[in-house]
Structure 1
Amino acid sequence: MPVPERSEYSYSRFKSNRQSTSKEVGLMSNHLFQVPLTKLQGVGPQKAGELHALGISTVGHLIEYYPFRYEDYRVRELRDVKDGERITIQGTIAAPPAMQRYGGKTRLICRVTVDQTLVTAVWFNRAFLKEQLVVGREITLTGKWDQRRKHLTVADSEFPDRGAAKSGTLQPVYSVGGNITQAAMRKLIAKALSQFGAHIPEILPPELLEQHALIARAEAISGIHNPDNTKNGQEARRRMVYEELFLFQLTLQAYRATHMKKADGLVHKVNNEEIRAFVGQLPFALTDSQKQVINEILHDMKQPFVMNRLLQGDVGAGKTVVAAVALYATVRAGHQGALMVPTEILAEQHARSLGKLFEPLGIQIGLLTGSLTDRKRRDLIASLQMGLLDIVVGTHALIQEDVFFRSLGLVVTDEQHRFGVNQRSILRRKGMNPDVLSMTATPIPRTLAITVFGDMEVSTIRERPKGRKSIKTYSVKHEMMDRVLGFIRKEAELGRQTFFICPLIEESEKLDVQNAIDLHIQLSLALPQLAIGLLHGRMSAAEKEETMAAFASGRTNVLVSTTVIEVGVDVPNATLMIVMDADRFGLSQLHQLRGRVGRGEHQSYCILIADPKSENGQERMRAMTETDDGFEISRRDLEIRGPGEFFGTKQSGMPEFRLANLLNDFEVLEQARDDAAALTSKEAFWSSPTYAPLRDYLAREARLREEPLD
């Protein structure tokens, strides 16, 4: 069913529908998430405070505080156990125990018969057990198995004649801290389920439960905390993973249903002939992929709906020129454009490159950064407000309260994940519903992007500009520095330049890694015939600009820098990127740094100097040397870091899922998206009591507001 006119889905109507039905359905937001922890038997203010430190403030939070793994206490036969495994076995005490003392510690040794095998069980610092280890008594042991010595280092033990609590079970393991131990957390959650489990409401509608054969919500939550067996635990997790992803998608799809088709955006009157003429005078030919995404963007800009589009592409794929075409279109339609970038260096570079493109056409470009003098800043803001400037490029300075536009038509944010949700929305609110284009060089597979960024349309540039060569990447040890210096000399003799990146500006007592200031001195001594520059975040804007200008013009052979040059810096003559202590950098960050070279006609190289003892670091080095495809790099980065950190949870506003994993549960995520989209397109969703719990959830999350979501 097509979505009706927006008036039918106004927030006021949604709100009144929710109020009229919430009493009938016993809703989640009115209940467990409003029940204080002190209502739980045995929990006083002190215990409640300790739980609050773990992010648990209500009974609802406690019940949904899920374990991150399980300890397996199911008894196994020795023939099925591998050396070094953690196992649980059951046997009979075969001989009296022996006690050894050393340095104030104890070692208790006892022989136990298990499956007709004599096993040596060892407890450390458990002297109190000696009197209980009686010959002929049955015992259940859990610990690490040594196959060769038939030896078990015991972590836990129980006596069946006393009623073994853990034997035969999967015990949940939670994130705990302070005075809250694993045992205490297990007891608290068991008590909460016993006292309030009958009040856990169902939130998913019957048709979804039936369609996907999902167990009831209360049963699933109980099953996650106390799975009877592996299958039961898997079914419980499957249910709650689907719910978690479905609710996330529901917020996005509800936004699309109520906001994305609002006919209150700027209609850009784009002249196709002018666009073709502008593209035709560019000093290079656009790729087919660039042409495709430009068509998608211009199509959106012509519509009465607000454009909210994500442009993703690999490092050096040509996103900036696509943004330039969109900015040109908004200016020719009589409006102003804003380009917000994360660093001053990048802002200055974009202002220069856009100036070369636009100023011959009479389009005025302004640069607004935090380092402008008060007078220049006042003049620029006045020009912007009067409409004398067509396009402004800037950093966070663009979102200052006193910055106004005459008619803001298009907002472009470069490296959108580097800005917080509020920062992006403040810039957008400086116009009357301007179109929004967000760009990122941290690409993910298109289907995943569409799913995760459900409130945005997604355009992807897959091709590289014609003639762009692959960057040859090598990982080497610190001991090979002499060879690296020889490589720098060789490239310099050919007239090429080198980036040399360090993780720190200056020496640190806490980290034993190379710093930029010391490296600059060392290279100046080792390469006296070359001009060595230094760039870092503590330099003034004028110093940074002078340093970059010297490097861009070729007056400097080598630029020693921190990651201040991570994004956007474009020096076509630079062919060598060297990263010191590369194992200290994330995979996507290394790929961004590598993208600073390979922008000219000459073969480029990336040398990663890393510690071979760093396991995670070596995993990243393998990925970097095996591929230069940004989409593959992002996939591996997602595997290594996990979804929450990869997507920048705190920056992007995207929730870090408690159970779901975007990589492993991708098919569930897509199904949840389809289900949420189908549901929010139905009139019944916004009025029927059946869906009141879902509408209540949306209200509780404060996602459906008259103000657009970001």
Structure 2
Amino acid sequence: MRPAILDPLFASVSSLPGVGPKVAEMIARVTSREDPEDCRVIDLVFHAPYSLVDRRNRPGIALAPQGTIVTIEGRVDRHQPPPRGTNQPYRVFLHDDTGELALTFFHAKGDWLMKSLPIDEQVMVSGKVDWFNGRASMIHPDFMVKASEAENMPLVEPVYPLTAGLSPKTLRKAVEGAVTRLPEMPEWADPHLTSRQSFPSVTEAFRQLHDPRDAADIDPQAPARRRLAYDEFLAGQVSLSLVRQKVRKVPGQPIRVKGELADKIVAALPFSLTPSQQAAVADITKDMAGEERMLRLLQGDVGAGKTMVALLSMAAAVEAGGQAVLMAPTEILSRQHFATISKLANAIGVTVEVLTGRTKGRERDQIIERIATGEAQIIIGTHALFQDAINYHNLMLAVVDEQHRFGVHQRLRLTAKGISPHMLVMTATPIPRTLVLAAFGDMDVSKLTEKPAGRKPIQTVTIPTERIGDIVGRLRSAIAEGKKAYWICPLVEESDVSELMSAEERHSVLAGELGAANVGLIHGRMSGPEKDAVMAAFKNGEIRLLVATTVVEVGVDVPDATIMVIEHAERFGLAQLHQLRGRVGRGSEASTCILLYKGPLSETGHARLSILRDSEDGFLIAEEDLKLRGEGELLGTRQSGTPGFRIASLEAHADLLEIARKDAANLLERDPDLTSERGEAMRTLLYLHRRDEAIRFLRAG
């Protein structure tokens, strides 16, 4: 049961004053809650300000720097309403001893402005000053008040991330309401640590977070922020340790075999395994032979041969008389793994089945039947593999591809089925060590470092969007020579909000330029069979250019595709660009990746694209990406069961992650069921951070 002292924080956000259904929906959006019903007061308490408005800055109109937020006191001279029927703004002019300022309002109501800013009244306004042709203007001041009422104006105010329609004032009021509900919580941090790090208490840290006095309080290294970051890491590490403790308690089935099946597969391969593939297979077979269940993360860059390591590991499970599953995040990827693996497995007499959400009716029932009798030895599919209807005959190994789409929760569902297979998790997103600790603190890691033999380096170039005509020209001649290319777009359909070229629009433009028969389109909103048909046509060479959204990011394998164009490359994460680039250069021909960007690029934008241009080392790229963008982004979305930290940042607080990991390990060693006084406090921390999954484990005992 959640401790009663947390109840006020888990009340619905709409229980706060001034928060109706509409505002609650916007707050859910800004705090990344997918379901407004699930948005609680605590979500606002964790919604940290990212900067602050300091109204103590009062330079006078003439001395106000461009683009800076200042507070001006002046006398209102005149109002200039726009001519009727035009889109021009409403302007109000005021002056102080140094000069004149135009306040500019779009779609404003004149009578309201007359009342708020009467002529000849001394007023105080606060906002960002812009200079045009030597004249100062302030568009939509943040704050306007008669000088006589100015004592009501807060001098320092936090600035929060917002969403369309949610005003700073409304959000600020809701946050203030949320903070008043904070109870005094028990102390779960180690007392030596709190004094050494000068940590405030949790409640005090939240109050300071939302009441910054100057820029130092917004800094990630401010004591209040460090305290909350530590708590966030600690909650994550304790839940990972509890999961691991539970998973390890379930004894593994030792797999001890001679490796005859694996040897047959290796003998049939047209290439030899790389040294790191051999080392990974050795690690895995050693782990599986032990009494404890294996939990291993296999990291390998795009094209480093993870599937082969998985197949050899699965062969060991089959040789021991068991079954193995390989679970992939998408339908396309499952079918592709099936195509690769069934060829090799059938040759040595191993039965492989594929089961996805699309497998229906009689076919589905027959496959489920073969899984239950043990006739199906290797089963490949999407998360359809873990539905309740499916019973395994003797599941010994589960391989999960692209872990970051697949959080701790799904790993638990497997265990909950009373099945305790060994677990191998594969990812092509090279994950920096700090992130491995945060997301997968419960795993041993193997890395595949070499590229398979015969892979040519990929030439990467960055080109501004203005030169898109040249690219189309190059594609025309490449297609005439029989080459294949991808063109990646960020969005599926044009929206007014975004000027990004959508996949559908780009497809029609390119089809016009290069001939409709040559150009195909694939995106996430198409049905499975539609996607398959397009992919098959691209593989067979019926279409030469595939316009796609990022659905091709993971695992699509067309070895003779040699050109990859990524439009609006500045909008993608580095790790994602690296993944996409890895879709070419898979055959023996030299390949090119063209990053089209819309200028002008920010400094970070430049830095990011040049890292990609200069390196093909996924691990290096991932480390840089982490420095430049932070971790929530690196692993894709916040909601995917990964640590999308709300206050902690791996970059700013890496030292605290190490401490939290050791602290969690020591605590659970002394108090595995969290029944001591500190253990009870730790349960409060887990509930506070919505780590209820982990607490269920304690209860299940």
Given the two structures, how large is their TM-score scaled by the length of structure 2? 0.80
Identity, % of aligned positions = 35
Deviations 1:141-179 (A, max 9, x none): 654265995847465466787563446x43123456899
Q: Partners in 1 of 2:287 and 2:599 — Cα distance?
A: 49
Q: Partners in 1 of 2:44 and 2:493 — Cα distance?
A: 45
Shift of 1:642: 5.0
Aligned partner of 2:313 in structure 1 is 326
Q: Partners in 1 of 2:399 and 2:379 — Cα distance?
A: 10
Q: Does 1:246 align with 2:225?
A: no
Q: Partners in 2 of 1:518 and 1:74 — Cα distance?
A: 50
Deviations 1:472-516 (A, max 9, x none): 123445665664455446556766433445567788898773646
Shift of 1:238: 2.2
Match for 2:80 among 101, 107, 123?
A: 101
1:324/1:58 CA distance change after superposition, 3 Å: closer
Deviations 1:17-73 (A, max 9, x none): x9xxxxxxxx67455436788998xx4xx7476775435976666555543432122
Aligned partner of 2:586 in structure 1 is 599
Shift of 1:461: 2.2
Match for 1:86 among 68, 75, 86?
A: 68
Q: Does 1:704 align with 2:695?
A: yes
Aligned partner of 1:3 in structure 2 is none
| DSSP 3-state at the match of 2:426 | strand
Aligned residue runs from structure 1 range 203-602, under 5 A: 203-231=188-216, 234-256=222-244, 258-271=245-258, 275=262, 278-279=265-266, 281-372=268-359, 374-419=361-406, 425-426=412-413, 432-476=419-463, 480=467, 483-484=470-471, 487-488=474-475, 491=478, 496-501=483-488, 513=501, 515=503, 519=507, 523=511, 526=514, 548=535, 551-552=538-539, 557-559=544-546, 563-579=550-566, 587-602=574-589
Letter in 1 for 2:696: R
Q: Is the 8 A contact 2:519 2:547 kept in 1?
A: yes
Which segment drifts farther, 504-513 or 387-396? 504-513
Q: Partners in 1 of 2:424 and 2:366 — Cα distance?
A: 27
Shift of 1:408: 0.9
Q: Does 1:173 align with 2:173?
A: no
Shift of 1:677: 2.4
Letter in 2 for 1:391: I
Letter in 1 for 2:295: N
Q: Is the 8 A contact 1:343 1:395 kept in 2?
A: yes
Unaligned runs of 5+ in 2: 29-37, 84-88, 106-112
Aligned residue runs from structure 1 range 668-707, under 5 A: 668-683=656-671, 686-698=674-686, 701-702=691-692, 703-706=694-697
1:462/1:660 CA distance change after superposition, 3 Å: same
Letter in 1 for 2:56: R
Which segment drifts farther, 402-411 or 373-382? 373-382
| DSSP 3-state at the match of 1:164 | helix
Letter in 2 for 1:705: R
Paired residue total? 667
Shift of 1:678: 2.8
Q: Does 1:120 align with 2:100?
A: yes
| DSSP 3-state at the match of 1:352 | helix
| DSSP 3-state at the match of 2:419 | coil
Q: Is the 8 A contact 2:77 2:119 kept in 1?
A: no
Shift of 1:321: 1.0
1:402/1:622 CA distance change after superposition, 3 Å: same
Q: Partners in 1 of 2:565 and 2:518 — Cα distance?
A: 16
Q: Is the 8 A contact 1:413 1:437 kept in 2?
A: yes
Q: Partners in 2 of 1:158 and 1:508 — Cα distance?
A: 38
Shift of 1:439: 1.6
Given the two structures, how large is their TM-score scaled by the length of structure 1? 0.79
Which segment drifts farther, 692-701 or 283-292? 692-701
Which segment drifts farther, 198-207 or 399-408? 198-207
Aligned partner of 1:69 in structure 2 is 51
Deviations 1:68-124 (A, max 9, x none): 432122336689988314244677x6xx652142327764444434xxxx2434445
Q: Partners in 2 of 1:152 and 1:512 — Cα distance?
A: 31
Deviations 1:247-296 (A, max 9, x none): 2222223333x324315222111335765665455332322322332233
Letter in 2 for 1:71: V
1:265/1:477 CA distance change after superposition, 3 Å: same
| DSSP 3-state at the match of 1:261 | helix
Q: Is the 8 A contact 1:450 1:458 kept in 2?
A: no
Aligned partner of 2:109 in structure 1 is none
Q: Is the 8 A contact 2:92 2:102 kept in 1?
A: yes
Q: Does 1:656 align with 2:644?
A: yes
Q: Partners in 1 of 2:164 and 2:529 — Cα distance?
A: 49
Q: Partners in 2 of 1:320 and 1:667 — Cα distance?
A: 35
Shift of 1:311: 1.9
Q: Partners in 2 of 1:556 and 1:180 — Cα distance?
A: 46
| DSSP 3-state at the match of 2:324 | strand
Shift of 1:217: 2.4
Q: Is the 8 A contact 2:52 2:215 kept in 1?
A: no
Q: Is the 8 A contact 2:117 2:146 kept in 1?
A: no
1:465/1:192 CA distance change after superposition, 3 Å: closer
Which segment drifts farther, 696-705 or 309-318? 696-705
Q: Partners in 2 of 1:565 and 1:685 — Cα distance?
A: 44
Shift of 1:336: 0.6
Aligned partner of 1:8 in structure 2 is none
1:362/1:520 CA distance change after superposition, 3 Å: farther
